[in-house]
Chain A
C-alpha cells in the first residue's frame, strides 16, 4: 500500500523557473526522503529530513516538513532541463522503520 500522495502528478515549467512538488502522508513518521528517477532508470536519493526538522537545503533543493499537516514539499530553484525526471517522496513505516513507502510521484518536465 502507498502511504504518500504527491501533488501535482505532472508539472511542466520553463528552464530557470522554480518547481514545487508536494507530498502528503497518513501516519506518523521518523523521517521523509525525496528521490529522483530519470526515465527508465533507478532512483537517486536527494535528501532526507527527520521528523524533528522543519527545513533542509541541498544545493538548489529545499525541502520542508510539516508533521502537524503530515506534508512535505520539495522546491527546485532555477530549474534546468536536466532536472526533467519523476520525483518521489518516501516515508518510513512505523512497523518497520527500515522500510520505505513511496508515493505515486510527480513527473517534472523542464523545457529548455
Chain B
C-alpha cells in the first residue's frame, strides 16, 4: 500500500540552528500538507500545496519557517533559526482531491526536539 514518506524520523537540534524535513507524498497526489503537532494536542496546519502552488500558509511563521514543493511532487519544510518552542512532531500528508472528500493520508511524522 502506498504511503507518505517522511525523513528524518527524529531530529535533535540546538536552538538557533537550521533544520529541514522532507516529505514524499503518495504518487499522483496533487495536494500536500505540512501539519505541526505539539505533544498532547491535535495537529495544526502549517502549509498546504496544490501541485507546486501554496494554497494556505496563513499559520506558517514565515519569519523562520519556509516550505517548498518545486516540482509539485516532494516537499521540504525548513526552520531557521529553530527555537525551543518548535519542539513538536511535523506531519506531512497528501490527498488526491480533498475538496471531493478524498481521504487525506498522513506520514509517520518527524519528531523535532530543540535543545
Contacts and interface: CB of A to CB of B under 8 A. Distances in A.
Interface in A22-56: 30-31, 33, 35, 40-45, 48, 50
A105 B43 CA distance: 10
A4 B43 CA distance: 12
Interface string B71-111: 00000000000000000010101010011010111111101
13 contacts: A42-B4, A42-B91, A43-B91, A50-B101, A88-B43, A90-B42, A96-B48, A98-B31, A98-B95, A99-B33, A99-B56, A100-B45, A102-B44
Interface of A is mostly: strand
A88 B56 contact: no
Given A96-B48, A100-B104, A102-B42, A42 B109 contact: yes
Interface residues of B, number: 28
A50 B102 CA distance: 11
Contacts of B89: 40
Interface of B: 4, 31, 33, 40-45, 48, 50, 55-56, 89, 91, 93, 95, 98-99, 101, 103-109, 111
A12 interface: no
Interface residues of A, number: 27
Contact of B98 (A35, A97, A102, A104): A97
Contact of B108 (A41, A92, A96, A100): A41
